[in-house]
C-alpha cells in the first residue's frame, strides 16, 4: 500500500506463496486495508454532525472539497484540526479519523487533496494511481486553502492544527513551512521539507517515525538539525521495530 512495489510486482511476488494467479490475487486482497474493520466511529453517530464541504483552492485549481466533522451539540468555539490523507485520497479510514477528532471536541476537516484532479475514486488502486498523476503543488495548495476555510468557520477558535499520515505527513511538514497560521502539526512518517525552509515554521511539531522506515528516516538528521538551529518547538518519537505506516 505504501511501498515502492506496484500491484503487478506484488502479484508476482505473492504467486511464490500461493497457487496460481487466483491465489495470488486472493492473498493480495487479504493483505489490503479493511476500512470497515478499522472504523471506530460510525458515519451516522448521533453525537456528530458530519458533512461534505467545498472551499476555494488558489492558483486556478477551482474548488477543493473535504469532509467536515463537528460535535452535534458543540458548546462555544472549537479548536480546529486538519487531517491530511495518505497516497490514496480521502477514503473511509481518513473520514473516520476526522470523526474521532470531532468526538474529542475538535472541528475536524479532512480535505480531499485529489479533488483538484476530480476527486478520490472509490477504488483504492485507482485512487493511488490518480495520486501519482496529480500535481503535488496543486494538492498542497488545496491543503493550505483549508486553513483559512477552517479559521473562518463560525464555531472556530481560530487556532488550527494538522495531523497527517504518509504522504499527508509530508503535507503537514510542508504546510508548516508555508503557513504562519498553522499552530501545531503532527506528522506520521512524513517526508521532511528542505532545511532552507525550516526557519519559516511557526507551528509546534510532533514528528512520529517507524524505526525500520529507512527511506523516510534518512531525512531525520538534516530536519532535526535545521529545527534545532532555527530554535523551533518540536518533539520526535521513533518507534522501534515497526515500519512505515
Residues noted as catalytic: 166, 213, 244
Please give the helix or strand (H or E) that residue 53 lies within, else none.
strand 51-56
**Residue 123 CA from chain centroid, whole number:** 18
Residue 197 has phi, psi (to 5 degrees) of: -90, -10
31, 39 Cβ separation under 8 angstroms: no
Residue found under cell 495531523: 163
Longest dimension (CA), the chain: 59
Question: How far apart are alpha carbons 67 and 74 in whole angstroms?
Answer: 18
Helix (H, G, I), strand (E, B) or coil at 208: strand
Amino acid at each position: 500500500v505504501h511501498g515502492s512495489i506496484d500491484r503487478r510486482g506484488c502479484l508476482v511476488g505473492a504467486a511464490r506463496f500461493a497457487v496460481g494467479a487466483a491465489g495470488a490475487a486472493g492473498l493480495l486482497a487479504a493483505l489490503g486495508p479493511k476500512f470497515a474493520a478499522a472504523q471506530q466511529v460510525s458515519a451516522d453517530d448521533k453525537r456528530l454532525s458530519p458533512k461534505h464541504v467545498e472551499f476555494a483552492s488558489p492558483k486556478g485549481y477551482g474548488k477543493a472539497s473535504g469532509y467536515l466533522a463537528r460535535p452535534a451539540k458543540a458548546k462555544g468555539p472549537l479548536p480546529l484540526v486538519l487531517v491530511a490523507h495518505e497516497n490514496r485520497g480521502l477514503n473511509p479510514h481518513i473520514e473516520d479519523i476526522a470523526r474521532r477528532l470531532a468526538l474529542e471536541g475538535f472541528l475536524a476537516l479532512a480535505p480531499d487533496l485529489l479533488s483538484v484532479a476530480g476527486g478520490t475514486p472509490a477504488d483504492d488502486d485507482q485512487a493511488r494511481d490518480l495520486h501519482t498523476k496529480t500535481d503535488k503543488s496543486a494538492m498542497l495548495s488545496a491543503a493550505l486553502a483549508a486553513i483559512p476555510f477552517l479559521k473562518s468557520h463560525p464555531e472556530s477558535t481560530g487556532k488550527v492544527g494538522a495531523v497527517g499520515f504518509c504522504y499527508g505527513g509530508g503535507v503537514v511538514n510542508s504546510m508548516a513551512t508555508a503557513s504562519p497560521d498553522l499552530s501545531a502539526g503532527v506528522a506520521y512518517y512524513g517526508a521532511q521539507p528542505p532545511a532552507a525552509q525550516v526557519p519559516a515554521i511557526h507551528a509546534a511539531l510532533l514528528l512520529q517515525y517507524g524505526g525500520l522506515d529507512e527511506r523516510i528516516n534518512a531525512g531525520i538528521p538534516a530536519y532535526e538539525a535545521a529545527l534545532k538551529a532555527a530554535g523551533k518547538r518540536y518533539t520526535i518519537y521513533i518507534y522501534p521495530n515497526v515500519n512505515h505506516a
